[in-house]
């Protein structure tokens, strides 16, 4: 099992950070390993919204269909994928503060197949990529 969290402070109001981060289509703008991010359900984003992420992990292309299981505007949203070689759950939690918005991404996942054999390397890679993604996100949002 892979389980960790990463936090960052973004010098922007919580509403702006939430709007940007919860927009599935914009995920490719700040997540380096993401090849494709597509909302697959109709209507506004919220609990029950489905999506597909296609990522490049450890040299392999991984498709992860998922669903939003929690959605509290300007506070938190949780995504889950229960199929494919990586089953995961990730929660983005946002808190307002003096310096802007603190965003924490807490995640856990269960690897299968090839990824199970490389779980230690995968855990390290995911943490490093998430930290890099948060740096890109901070730079993007603070330049807007």
Which position has the token pair 């509290």? 72
Greater pLDDT, 103 or 57: 103
Task: Check pLDDT > 80 for residue 118.
Answer: no
Percent with pLDDT over 90 in the chain: 74
Model pLDDT, residue 57: 82
Task: Check pLDDT > 80 for residue 93.
Answer: yes
Model pLDDT, residue 24: 94
Instruction: Kindly provide the b/e burial profile for residues 87-100, where b requires at least 16 CB atoms within 10 angstroms of the residue's own CB.
Output: bbbbbbbbeeeeeb
Q: Which residues pair with 79 in a beta bridge?
A: 68, 90
User: Given CA atoms 27, 137, 19, 70 in this order, what sign does their dihedral have?
Assistant: positive
Give the count of beta carbons closer than 10 Å to the beta carbon of residue 118: 16
Task: Check pLDDT > 80 for residue 12.
Answer: yes
Kindly report the average pLDDT of the chain as a whole number.
Answer: 93
Of the listed ranges 58-62, 91-95, 132-136, the one predicted with least confidence? 58-62
> Sorting pLDDT into bands at 50, 70 and 90, what band is 114?
low
Task: Residue 23: give its domain's CATH number.
Answer: 3.30.530.20
User: Which structural domain, as residue segments, surrounds residue 65?
Assistant: 2-142
Distance CA 41, CA 75 (A): 22
Give the count of beta carbons closer than 10 Å to the beta carbon of residue 138: 19
Distance CA 28, CA 35 (A): 7
Q: Which residues pair with 90 in a beta bridge?
A: 79, 107
pLDDT digits (tens, 9 = 90+) for 13-62: 999 999 999 999 999 999 999 999 999 999 999 999 999 999 988 888 98
Model pLDDT, residue 47: 98
What is the average per-residue pLDDT within 72-97? 93
Q: Provide the domain count of the chain.
A: 1
């Amino acid at each position: 099992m892979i389980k960790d969290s990463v936090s960052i402070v973004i010098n922007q109001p919580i509403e702006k950070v939430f709007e940007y981060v919860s927009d599935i289509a914009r995920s490719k703008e700040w997540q380096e390993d993401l090849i494709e991010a597509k909302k697959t359900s109709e209507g506004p984003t919220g609990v029950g919204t489905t999506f597909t992420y296609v990522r490049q992990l450890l040299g392999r292309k991984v498709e992860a269909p998922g669903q939003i299981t929690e959605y509290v505007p300007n506070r938190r949203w949780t995504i889950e994928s229960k199929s494919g070689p990586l089953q995961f759950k990730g929660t983005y939690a946002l808190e307002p503060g003096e310096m802007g918005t603190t965003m924490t991404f807490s995640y856990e996942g269960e690897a299968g197949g090839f990824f199970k054999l490389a779980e230690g390397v995968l855990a390290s890679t995911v943490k490093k990529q998430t930290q890099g993604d948060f740096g890109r996100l901070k730079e993007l949002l603070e330049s807007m």
